[in-house]
Structure 1
Amino acid sequence: MTAGLVGEPMPLTGPELSESAFRRACAQFPTGVTVVTAAHAGDLHGSTVNAFSSLTLAPAQVLVCLARTSRTWPAIERSRRFAVNVLARDQVDVARLFATKEPDKLARVPHRSDDGAPPVLHGAAAWFECDLADAITSHTHRIVIGRVVRLMVDEDRDPLVFARGRLDG
């Protein structure tokens, strides 16, 4: 093990760099909380995701990371469209619901889905409706890139934040 600076924790390497240590280190970085939604053939799907980022400004693109086991991914792949709903601070229950494997999650949350568009959640701090631009598989996840075709922002609503394993709501 490499010695750390005086008064600082020791860096972890090799076998000490466990999944648990990695998770704890990543938890030091606060992230927003989103629900990624998609619709295909009348079926609505959604998953809580905190791996979300803007990618490019021109064209406007975002990226999200979905587990390969996600039921939302097949709907995105088939419809070629999805929405990223940035949850507001008072939507902790929504984040928890969409983190489950419960069926018909969208039946329990107010939303709008026009003409086969991906559902957008009422009360979100912002949302991005996207066309699928690309998807890259990396180990257990898919990195999904979307070209933003429509968005909404409500600057009066504070975003929900996840840090150190807790939702700040």
Structure 2
Amino acid sequence: MPIPDFIVELRSKIGRDPLPLTGVTAVVLDDRDRVLLTRRSDDGTWALVTGCLEPGEQPAVCAVRETLEETAVVAEVERLVSVEGLPLRVLPNGDQVYWLDVAFRCRYVSGEARVNDDESVDVAWFDAESMPPLDPRQTRCLALAREAAREPWYVS
């Protein structure tokens, strides 16, 4: 997975010190309420579509872009699901990141789900009965996205 140029430039100045970055999570659902998941190439786990916000990019635009880039699926954002600051994460290369994650409920528009970049080794739709395990934060995002409630979730 290539590191975005803007992060490479920042890292050249701050090294591996903690860097605050904004990420997005796209909970993409189809008309049968199946969820689109990717199997990550870095650790082999199944996950919701995620990505890093580019400088000047709007979070909802990022969710749509990342979905297309990673899965070849065109989606549209329906609503904000959650906003959450995540604990410090140390990446395998030693870089430290504080992610601010903005999660969106998205609706499938078109395209056939497939691996579309080097960040995934598999892409598939899953119904509630056949879901692989997700990490606890992503499990919560998926549950919140499937709820009828329109208010975003956040820690207060």
More helix, by proportion: 2
| TM-score normalized with structure 1 length | 0.35
| TM-score normalized with structure 2 length | 0.38
State the structure with more CA Rg.
Answer: 1
> Bigger relative contact order, structure 1 or 2, given CA contacts below 8 A and separation 6+?
2
